[in-house]
Amino acid sequence: MKRLAICAICRNEKPYLLEWLAFYRLAGFADIYIYDNVSDDGTSEMLAALDALGHIRRIFFPRREKIPPQRDAYNHFLENHAYRHDYVLVVDLDEFLFVHDTAGIQGLIARAEAKHGEVAAIAFPWQMFGSDGAERMEPGLVIERFRKTAPQPDTTVKTLFNPAHTYNFRTHISNALDGVYLTSALKPYKFDPKMPIRMLTPDAGEAVIHHYYTKSREEWGRKIRMARVNRAQDQKRRESKFEETAHFDLVNDAALPFIAPVKAGIAQLGADLRAFEDRVTPDVIRIVGVDPTRLFGTLTYHGPAPRLPMVRIVADDAAEYLVAAQPTQRAGVHVFTLRRKWKPKMRMVTLSVVGAATSVRVDLDSQPPLVPEANDRHSLNSVLGD
């Protein structure tokens, strides 16, 4: 069996995350790496919890000025993690790989290698899905709600690459030193020389990426207001793009067999998250004081408290620090601290406990200064203001 992984980057995808994760676990991808592009809708907190539970590998990955975060993340993965795997599929959270082979992706890879030997990559075309007439976000899975698709596959592809042959990744396609680059029809990939991410002619082959690009009109409206992760600047999507896919009327039922098992996977992931959240979420999380070199904060638990909850401190959406909150002699009170000295200047911090579903934002400039005791030292009394 090949060691398979997923690499993705996401921002503000909380309503869709568990479905996508359950789908790819079901599809046979044991290792899922998600680059956290700093969300403000609870996605970052969910990713941190899933990482702590061992369901994914999360990498904190804020935007860097004038650098496209998507390609930046993929090449960070290529340099730091890809070597652990035989093949890696690079997809977004609105993309789902459907393989016609009953043996799934492992079977497709086996046949590709049997036919061509050293396989550098396999390109899967998009199968574009439209709104299915939906105006609002309704209950149900994405793969369940949207069934109407374009009459033929798109020419744009996404790629499963072999790290042993790959030296660069370019959002949709990889650059290979050797080996053969295939289509999902297991033929050599012939691309448009002006746009290498596109096939010369559309061919569904033996696997396609279902691309649920717009979803409902409500969801599309939310999407176009968000920054695009594949551009250095926060560009906005055009409203007209929705209308380009709204006319699709060909019903595609390929996802139907996956609906029940994906829902079961979501239920298990949700149960794991809720149990973790119940165990670690404090009644109060706050900063109790700052000085030029350090900040102190507390977690207060009115009921049973975990032994060493981990606190995420995100400074100005640009740097993340994980610190343990230590129990104190005060019942239900844990203290955490972060050294500010020798770190980039921080003003606005986002605090959360790993496993908790919510966070709080704190302006450090508005916090009370710490008053040390003798010899410029702090004690529990001085930190808590007693």
DSSP string, 124-141: EEEEEE--TT--S--SS-
Sort strands 284-291 and 250-251 into parallel, antiparallel or unpaired.
Answer: unpaired
State the pTM of this model.
0.94
pLDDT digits 0-9 by tens, 273-327 = 999 999 999 999 999 999 888 999 999 999 999 999 999 999 999 999 999 999 9
Q: Are 235 and 227 in contact (CB under 8 A)?
A: yes
Domain edges within the chain: 4-270, 281-384
**H or E, element range at 21:** helix 14-26
Task: Please check the confidence at residue 384 and state whether its pLDDT lies above 90.
Answer: no
Give the closest residue to 294 by CA, choosing from 378, 380, 381, 385: 378
Give the closest residue to 102 by CA, choosing from 92, 111, 94: 111
Rounded Cα gap, residues 262 and 57, in angstroms:
20
Quick one: average pLDDT of 23-39?
98
Sign of the CA dihedral running 19, 223, 58, 1: positive
Q: Are 346 and 315 in contact (CB under 8 A)?
A: yes
**H or E, element range at 34:** strand 31-36
Rounded Cα gap, residues 225 and 236, in angstroms:
6
CATH topology match: 4-270 vs 281-384 = no
Least confident interval from 3-17, 83-97, 361-375: 361-375
Residues comprising the chain, all counted: 386
The SS3 call for residue 80 is: helix
Least confident interval from 67-81, 91-105, 216-230: 216-230
pLDDT digits 0-9 by tens, 133-179 = 999 999 999 999 999 999 999 999 999 999 999 999 999 999 999 99
pLDDT digits 0-9 by tens, 235-279 = 455 667 788 888 899 999 999 999 999 999 999 999 999 999 999
CA distances to 289, 291, 315, 331, 372 from 363, rounded to whole Å, are: 11, 13, 10, 27, 21
CA 295 and chain centroid, separation: 30
Q: Residue 197 phi/psi, 5° resolution?
A: -80, 0
Task: Please check the confidence at residue 375 and state whether its pLDDT lies above 70.
Answer: no
Topology of the domain covering 4-270: Spore Coat Polysaccharide Biosynthesis Protein SpsA; Chain A (3.90.550)
Topology of the domain covering 281-384: Immunoglobulin-like (2.60.40)
CA distances to 290, 340, 351 from 294, rounded to whole Å, are: 6, 5, 15
Q: What is the pLDDT of residue 234?
A: 47
Q: How many CB atoms lie within 10 A of CB 179?
A: 17
CA atoms within a 13 Å half-sphere pointing along the CA-CB vector of 173? 19
Q: Cα(first)–Cα(last) distance of the chain, in Å?
A: 61
Q: What is the pLDDT of residue 230?
A: 60
The rounded mean pLDDT for the chain is 93
Of residues 22 and 228, more confidently modeled? 22
Rounded Cα gap, residues 235 and 310, in angstroms:
35
Quick one: average pLDDT of 362-384?
76
